[in-house]
């Protein structure tokens, strides 16, 4: 199967300040792969914030992918049994979703998509974006770094002085990280200095 035939799931969780950059990453991914399925966490699907309205984001995401977003646990469940995806990207990935993934909780569309997809031993790519990355979420990132089939978009501190525990992935590297993950490799260096 050529690279462009790999089927990608692109899931967005509720780091709303990252959505504009995540949509740019999604556009790049959609330019490389024929089939990209958008997945919205229930929070992403329903939260209007100062960064934009939920309906507007959904419309853009669905238009980039050319297909409707999966936004429920029931909608995500067939991903594993029907082997619908070759790789699942969670971009952005909140501290909340990191905690659930580390604990094996699957009570949202995105965590269910991950659980369902992982049963096939296929890669999940995480693009972290959370203010507590070097605080409460650190242990979850650590647990996930040590888990099979989980790969990280290189990440670093986005504002060491203003937000000393905040971590954000370098979203310009999402396509490269997906390619490496499909080969079973973690893109390096995983810790990126300021970007």
Give the residue, chosen from 6, 23, 38, 41, that forms a contact with ligand FMN under the rule CB under 6 A. 41
Angle CA 139–145–150, to nearest 5: 130
Distances from the Cα of 15 to the Cαs of 21, 28, 40, 130, 188, in angstroms? 11, 19, 12, 7, 24
Q: Does 37 bind ligand FMN (CB under 6 A)?
A: no
Pick the piece of the chain touching ligand FMN (CB under 6 A) from 9-17, 55-63, 72-80, 181-189. 9-17
Quick one: 143 or 180, whose CB is closer to ligand FMN?
A: 143
Q: Does 46 bind ligand FMN (CB under 6 A)?
A: no
Closest CA to 65 of 93, 41, 31: 31
Pick the piece of the chain touching ligand FMN (CB under 6 A) from 7-15, 57-65, 68-76, 178-186. 7-15
Q: Do 98 and 129 contact (CB within 8 A), yes or no?
A: no
Q: Does 49 bind ligand FMN (CB under 6 A)?
A: yes
Residue 101 CB, nearest distance to ligand FMN (Å)? 10
Q: Do 187 and 173 contact (CB within 8 A), yes or no?
A: yes
List the structure tokens of 42: 């229930």
Q: Does 130 bind ligand FMN (CB under 6 A)?
A: yes
Give the residue, chosen from 108, 140, 157, 177, that forms a contact with ligand FMN under the rule CB under 6 A. 108
Quick one: 43 or 115, whose CB is closer to ligand FMN?
A: 43
Q: Does 43 bind ligand FMN (CB under 6 A)?
A: yes
The footprint of ligand FMN on residues 133-192 (CB under 6 A) is: none
For 3, how many CA atoms within 13 A lie in the half-sphere containing its CB? 12
Distance CA 28, CA 141 (A): 26
List the structure tokens of 69: 């977003």
Quick one: 42 or 62, whose CB is closer to ligand FMN?
A: 42
Residue 179 CB, nearest distance to ligand FMN (Å)? 25
Residue 190 CB, nearest distance to ligand FMN (Å)? 19
Q: Do 70 and 40 contact (CB within 8 A), yes or no?
A: yes
Which residue in this structure is represented by tokens 């990191």? 98
List the structure tokens of 77: 């469940």
Q: Using CB under 6 A, list all residues that contact ligand FMN.
A: 13-18, 41, 43-44, 47, 49, 94-97, 108, 129-130
């Amino acid at each position: 199967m050529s690279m462009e035939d790999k089927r990608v799931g692109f899931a967005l969780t509720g780091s709303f300040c990252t959505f504009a950059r995540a949509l740019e990453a999604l556009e790049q991914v959609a330019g490389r792969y024929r089939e990209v399925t958008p997945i919205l966490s229930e929070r992403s699907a329903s939260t209007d914030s100062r960064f934009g309205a939920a309906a507007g984001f959904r419309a853009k995401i669905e238009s980039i992918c050319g297909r409707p977003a999966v936004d429920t646990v029931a909608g995500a469940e067939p991903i594993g049994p029907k082997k619908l995806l070759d790789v699942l990207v969670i971009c952005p990935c909140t501290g909340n979703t990191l905690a659930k993934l580390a604990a094996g909780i699957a009570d949202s569309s995105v965590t269910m998509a991950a659980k369902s997809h992982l049963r096939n031993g296929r890669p999940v790519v995480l693009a972290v974006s959370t203010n507590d990355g070097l605080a409460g979420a650190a242990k979850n990132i650590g647990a996930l770094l040590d888990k099979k089939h989980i790969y990280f978009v290189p990440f670093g501190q986005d504002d060491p002085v203003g937000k000393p525990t905040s971590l954000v992935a370098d979203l310009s590297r999402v396509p490269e990280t997906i390619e490496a993950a499909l080969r079973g490799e973690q893109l390096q260096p995983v810790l990126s200095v300021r970007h």
